[in-house]
Structure 1
Amino acid sequence: MGSKNTQPPHVGVPETNQAGFSTTVTDTTLSEALIVLRKRKLVLIIAVLLGLAYGIYKAESQPKLYEAYGRIQVRSGSSNEYRVSAVQAYGGDASTKLLSEIEIIKSDSLMLTVCREMDLANNADFLEKPTAPQPRANLSDGETRQDTVHRLQSNLHVTIVAKTDIIRISYSSLNAKLSSDIVNKVISDYVQRSYQTRYESSQRASVWLSGTLDGLRQEVEASQEQMLDMQRRLGILGFDPNHNQINESLDDLSRAAGAAKLARIIAEARYRVVSGMDPNTIEGTIELTPGTAPGELTQLRAQLAGAKASYATLESSLGPNHPQSKASKAQIDELAKEIDEEQNRLIVQAKQNFVVAKANEDQTTAALEAQKTDAYKLRDQLVEYTLRQREYEANRTLYDSLKSRLRTASVQSGLESLDVDVVDQALPPAQPVLRPQSTVILTALIFALLAGIVVAFLMESLDTGLRSIAEIESITELPSLAIIPRARRSSVDQAATLSTAQRNVGILTQPKSQFAEAFRSLRTSLLLSNTGQPPKFIVLTSATPSEGKTTAASNLAAILAQRDTRVLLIDGDLRRPNIHHRFGLNGKIGLTSVLTGATKLEETVQSVPEIPNLDILPSGPVPPFPTEMLSSAAMETILKRCGELYDYIVIDSPPILSVTDGVILARQADAVVLVVRHGKSSKHVVRRARDLLLRAGAAITGIVLNAVDLNSPEYYGYYGYSGYSYSSVDSDSWESQTAEGEHTNAGETKR
């Protein structure tokens, strides 16, 4: 076998013997979405037809429903000004209030009340049945209750009239009178419920307030009794805590203590002075005894001085022994004694006065301190009294407020029924309400079309088959060499006149078809894959069986042989050979015969009469060990000999994911073409085959997408020139020019 090509690929053709090739797939655009829809047009057509059929059925079979309606006005009511608490009043946006009322109207409890009062569970018109259920249904059963309530809720429509506080309530059924009765019953029960719930709420508030008032009244009485008892203990008159006996006594004692202290100071000073003075000057210094005549001691002293003068006279005239003198002398002694006694009495009196003043001061001070202690206690008691008084006032204020609220709640409970006014009672409708048939059909078509689009894209996302060239190039990172359209089968009459090779090789019977042009494009891509040195050994393989590699190899060999070049087609599938069947040749001898030495190469190759330049080397007998034979030195020798005799050698190999034969043949080739069948091969299978070839060092030239339906949206207009036809002269001229040019390239290759 000749050496492999190592030159760079032709300009514009990506290099394939490396894994660096990549193709960027653009993001999903509107055009790609349209392609998906065109590809899945059958799904869309089926969806549209089903939607049309369903719409016609619904339009023709829609029931004649009678819709009755009534209207009510929901307003704040005149009782809001008497509400017990602002929390009960509706606040905020009026629309929020109306939405809340709508939910109340459609609540399960109100619907269940209507169902019970009208016995809807046994109403044939309500159940849309010819007769009432037997035995009679009971709403105590959970399933029956749920079905009846849900049926009523589903047919009851409650809406707000725009820019008003009016609510519209309507019901649709097969019976006009039943519709109006249900609406009127719903309105009646709603009004009754509105009145009852608010009345019960006010009554609950009244009962709670009454119980609270009893407790508050007892607390007020207890706190008042404690406050009065504190007043009695404190001696407070009325409610003025500033005038009490303790405070008045404290003032008197404070004044008495001051006076006693002053008196003690004066008495002490008098005593100190009197006790330390000259007795002769006592009477002239201070008043000895308050309230006593200050001249008593002076009189005694005057009498003493007179007695002494008389005694001196008598003594000088009568002598000391004279009785008169002695009598005068005795009088002097008596007066002196009295004076001494009087002086002592005055000192004792001053001392006693001092002691009395001191005792008075001590007692007054002790009484004042005791009174201060009582005053301090009084202060603490006054604080407690203040707290008691405040507690009493707070309890009395709360009691009065709640008592007033209780009276308000009694008034409010009678005014709550004014919140809901019935504007219109429901009347039985005269005509049924039918939707326009065109609207029903159009709606069904739109939803069916949308469902079809969703299913189409879902099927597209779940489809793992490879159908788009851009997708295949993105998955494999390999260039696409050609797109082979699906071959047209010959008619029975035409096939009867054709040879085996003509029936199986499409380019022989349809040389100007899209199928033949695709293989010419493949031939051109392969010959230009390497600059200046076209590949000699070309291996066609696939990831899995039945992807069309044998068909591709046969037609490619036939296209290459339509020039002045010799081409050899080797059936390298030693396990399931098929080439000899395609050309109607003998398969008893072939490649295995040459490898075993049973025959020679020149004796084994077979020619095809329809294609003079094409020789076929069949597989021959199926060997027991195909892999060993293909990887032997004899195989390399045969391929080298083939390279000397032929310009191009096309080898059909087995699927590379099934056996390793294809990988062995790919390593010995100048160009490896991976055939992928449109819509059959999955992404991971093709990627796995690509990886095996790259790891084996095979020169992967590119991929061929086989059996493509050119009418599919992905390839619409791919062969836009298909309507163009060649004249016989032009065709022959083009063929001859192409053959001459390629023969020149082949000659350069040989040189």
Structure 2
Amino acid sequence: MGLENPQQPGPGAPETNPTGFSTTVTDTTLSEALITLRKRRWILITSVVLGIAYGVYKAETQPKLFEAFGRIEVRSGSSNEYRVSAVQGYASDTAASKMLTEVAILQSDSLMLTVAREMDLSNNPEFLEVKGPVSHTTLDDAGVRQSTVHRLQSNLHITLVPKTDIIRISYTCLSAKLSADIVNTVIATYVHRSYQTRFDSTQRVSQWLSGQLDDLKQQVQTSQERMMDLQRRLGMLGFDPSHNQISTSLEDLSKAAGDARIARIVAESRYRMLAGMDPNTMEGSIETTPGTAPGELNLLRGQVASAKANYAQMESTLGPNHPQAQALKAQIDELEKEIDAEQKRLLLQAKQNYVVARTNEDQTSAALEKQKSDAYKLRDDLVEYTVRQRDFESNRTLYEGLLQRLRTAGVQAGLESLEIDVVDQALPPASPMLRPQSTIIMTSFVFGLLGGIVLAFLMESLDTGLRSVAEIESITELPSLAVIPRSRRAGVSEAAMSTAQRNISVLTQPKSQFAEAFRSLRTALLLSSAGHPPKFILFTSATPSEGKTTTASNLACILAQRDARVLLIDADLRRPNVHHRFGLNGKVGLTTLLTGASKLKDTVQNIPNVPNLDILPSGPVPPFPSEMLSSEAMDAFLNHCGDLYTHIVIDSPPILSVTDGVILARRADAVVLVIRHGKSSKHVVRRARDMLLRSGAPITGIVLNAVDLSSPEYYGYYGYSGYSYSSVDSESWESQTVSASSNGAGGRV
């Protein structure tokens, strides 16, 4: 019992995870929760009692409240058959959100403030739940307004009747008439607000539409005037941009320019041909200018040829000086002059026709180019005209649409508004509304119970004390060697006892749970190391008053009840207490032995109750205990004791207070850390363990001391307490376990 892990490393083993022991923190189970509640039962009982007392008080003193209620039906406007333009009906989600919106409006501060002003609730004693007259207040004060609206909202309950469009409005107060009046006033104010809000909204829309219509009307007029001005400038009739004067002139000029160019080319070709050809062959050329007789030049040439023939005949017959011949000669010359003149005239006429044709072409081309420029400008104007026409049409369409909307806004707004019907007016209730006393008490009991449970677990979580073995093993990662219960007197008269019997419980109560716990500790220590039981056993603690001296003294007595020889050394040189426990003389002891003032056989003491136990008190308190315990004399003394005794039990000081315990722990075979139940905290124990580990001490395990076995976490831990057996049988197995080591022990000093 108490032996958690017997596989402990032997003395001198290298430092590892504390003795190779590991624990696993399990999840909180129902049994652990019940243990916690049983341990904190007084908190739970107190909380439940307070809850029940509060419930009884509330049940007896609950006010007589009157609840009046009314119902209204809220519909979302007229049906589509009455609408100007049919719209889709409200979806279920939209209708639900709409109803929730109306509930929020009914609970709004503005509506509550209107009701409070109308009924002057801030000066109503029944509303304020006070007796006698009240001082006059005004809702213009922020504090009064806030408190009145808050009180009104807290007592006003607005709920939706499921699967309907009905809203239930109720109010609870001390006056039946006032509760009904408040409900009816809330309904009337809500209905008035609904219609007033819709009317104001319609007015705002109408005003906005009117303003927009005025602007659009001005824009339509301006666009129309600009379009008409541009139409007149373009020479357009009506609204057809394809029929205009410029386009017609452009077609005529294009045709005239083509004809002029052809005429110029023909005239130029005639002139250049006539200017470059032989004059004698001019009469055989192409026709001259139209209107000119092409045969005149040929006639002159025929006359010249006939005259020349007559002249040649006459010259041959009459001679050249004949007057007829000379006259004919003169006629021939005259005809030749006329031919030259005619040729020049024809050439000049062809040139003039060419010049006229070229001039005509130039002028026609210039007029065409000017007309083209006008056409290009016309194209840009037509684009502008199209834009302005579209702008005009757009403004006119928008104007007409808004005008139609404005005309139907009033009718549509009436059809879209909510329809609110009062289903039930609020009537003063006939009797007050009282909650059953059993319900109030039961509710308070449940809340008290829950509060006690929460407080119990809260106190448990805030408690840093170590009380359970599992918790200690989880914190220290060390095995639990034994759980030592709190010592109780067995009713034996103390007058007949010696000092050792009064202080060492295992001597007077060998069959008690206390003695059995130390036997379990003895078994755990003897089996803690493989091969041989530990010889030097050191007991220490993190802080003072944790019971390490009691544990060391009782274990030494238990070890000495066997055939083993045991030496109990009081190594606490600062506050020695072992000699007081056994009623011995403390004038000589460990300090006198280390200083050489006494010898071992003259220093050790014993008691008649335990003949195999030798006790070495601490002796006088030295000025430097740490130096004395770490001296070579101390090493030699311990080595000498190891040859004489089977077990040496050492009681050392707390390791967090002084370093004596750490010094002694390095020389021990087994170090036991004593933890007092409910006293040691988690941080302190963890720090003590870390100090021992860093010093290389062979920590065997922990001992939980002064445990209240009636506490819930240890209930049934020593359930075998009623079982009895002889002292010989109880120790026979343990004697056999270490018989080999006992047979090799030295003789008594």
TM-score, scaled relative to structure 2: 0.89
- Amino acid of the structure 2 residue aligned with 1:121: S
Matched residue, 2:369: 369
1:624 CA displacement:
2.9
Matched residue, 1:747: 742
Matched residue, 1:96: 97
Matched residue, 1:466: 466
Tell me whether 1:15 sits opposite 2:9 in the alignment: yes
Q: Secondary structure at the match of 1:674?
A: strand
Matched residue, 1:425: 425
Counting aligned pairs with the same residue, the percent is 68
1:314 CA displacement:
9.3
Q: Secondary structure at the match of 2:675?
A: strand
Structure-to-structure mapping, 1:122-141, within 5 angstroms: 122-134=123-135, 136-141=136-141
1:544 CA displacement:
0.6
Tell me whether 1:592 sits opposite 2:578 in the alignment: no
Q: Secondary structure at the match of 1:526?
A: helix
Q: Secondary structure at the match of 2:648?
A: strand
- Amino acid of the structure 2 residue aligned with 1:41: R
Judge which range, 213-222 or 247-256, deviates more: 213-222
1:440 CA displacement:
2.6
How big is each residue's C-alpha offset from its partner over 1:192-211, in whole Å with a ceiling of 9 and x where there is no partner?
Answer: 22222232222222222222
- Amino acid of the structure 2 residue aligned with 1:578: N
Distance change (3 Å), C-alpha of 1:745 and 1:710: farther
1:363 CA displacement:
0.6
Matched residue, 1:38: 38
Aligned counterpart for 1:725 among listed residues 703, 708, 723: 723
How big is each residue's C-alpha offset from its partner over 1:281-311, in whole Å with a ceiling of 9 and x where there is no partner?
Answer: 6567555453456665566667778888998
- Amino acid of the structure 1 residue aligned with 2:626: T
1:585 and 1:27 map into 2 onto residues whose CA distance is 48
1:253 CA displacement:
0.5
Distance change (3 Å), C-alpha of 1:365 and 1:91: farther
2:646 and 2:294 map into 1 onto residues whose CA distance is 178
1:219 CA displacement:
1.9
Contact 2:509/2:515 (<8 A) preserved: yes
Contact 1:202/1:413 (<8 A) preserved: yes
How big is each residue's C-alpha offset from its partner over 1:251-283, in whole Å with a ceiling of 9 and x where there is no partner?
Answer: 111111112122222323333444455667656
Matched residue, 1:629: 628
Judge which range, 424-433 or 312-321, deviates more: 312-321
Judge which range, 622-631 or 546-555, deviates more: 622-631
Distance change (3 Å), C-alpha of 1:646 and 1:257: closer
1:671 and 1:327 map into 2 onto residues whose CA distance is 183
Contact 2:8/2:529 (<8 A) preserved: no
Q: Secondary structure at the match of 2:720?
A: helix
- Amino acid of the structure 1 residue aligned with 2:371: Q
TM-score, scaled relative to structure 1: 0.88
Judge which range, 289-298 or 43-52, deviates more: 289-298
Tell me whether 1:114 sits opposite 2:115 in the alignment: yes
How big is each residue's C-alpha offset from its partner over 1:421-464, in whole Å with a ceiling of 9 and x where there is no partner?
Answer: 33333222233333333333333233322222222222222211
Matched residue, 2:732: 737
1:559 CA displacement:
1.6
Matched residue, 1:501: 500
Matched residue, 2:230: 230
Q: Secondary structure at the match of 1:93?
A: helix
Contact 1:51/1:449 (<8 A) preserved: yes
Matched residue, 1:449: 449
Structure-to-structure mapping, 1:59-98, within 5 angstroms: 59-78=59-78, 93-98=94-99
Distance change (3 Å), C-alpha of 1:622 and 1:155: same
Judge which range, 543-552 or 626-635, deviates more: 626-635
How big is each residue's C-alpha offset from its partner over 1:494-522, in whole Å with a ceiling of 9 and x where there is no partner?
Answer: 33443332222222332222111101111
Judge which range, 480-489 or 653-662, deviates more: 653-662
How big is each residue's C-alpha offset from its partner over 1:453-503, in whole Å with a ceiling of 9 and x where there is no partner?
Answer: 222222222211111212222222222111001111455x73344333222
Matched residue, 1:552: 551
Q: Secondary structure at the match of 1:721?
A: coil
Q: Secondary structure at the match of 2:493?
A: helix
Q: Secondary structure at the match of 1:750?
A: coil
How big is each residue's C-alpha offset from its partner over 1:360-386, in whole Å with a ceiling of 9 and x where there is no partner?
Answer: 111101111111111111111211222
Matched residue, 1:242: 242
Contact 1:121/1:144 (<8 A) preserved: yes
Q: Secondary structure at the match of 1:78?
A: coil
Distance change (3 Å), C-alpha of 1:749 and 1:87: farther
Contact 1:90/1:97 (<8 A) preserved: no
How big is each residue's C-alpha offset from its partner over 1:211-261, in whole Å with a ceiling of 9 and x where there is no partner?
Answer: 222222222222222211111221122211111111111111111111212
Distance change (3 Å), C-alpha of 1:43 and 1:301: same
Contact 1:202/1:412 (<8 A) preserved: no
1:321 and 1:91 map into 2 onto residues whose CA distance is 141
Contact 1:574/1:619 (<8 A) preserved: yes
Contact 1:564/1:743 (<8 A) preserved: no
- Amino acid of the structure 2 residue aligned with 1:104: I
Distance change (3 Å), C-alpha of 1:549 and 1:12: closer
1:739 and 1:375 map into 2 onto residues whose CA distance is 132
Matched residue, 1:6: none
Contact 1:536/1:643 (<8 A) preserved: yes
Matched residue, 1:399: 399
Q: Secondary structure at the match of 1:271?
A: helix
- Amino acid of the structure 2 residue aligned with 1:656: I
2:58 and 2:52 map into 1 onto residues whose CA distance is 10
Matched residue, 1:653: 652
2:300 and 2:646 map into 1 onto residues whose CA distance is 187
1:176 CA displacement:
2.2
Matched residue, 2:440: 440
1:119 CA displacement:
1.7
Judge which range, 197-206 or 702-711, deviates more: 197-206
Contact 1:10/1:529 (<8 A) preserved: no
Structure-to-structure mapping, 1:574-613, within 5 angstroms: 574-613=573-612
- Amino acid of the structure 2 residue aligned with 1:691: D
How big is each residue's C-alpha offset from its partner over 1:697-740, in whole Å with a ceiling of 9 and x where there is no partner?
Answer: 33322211001112222222221212x332xxx42442463575
2:737 and 2:276 map into 1 onto residues whose CA distance is 167
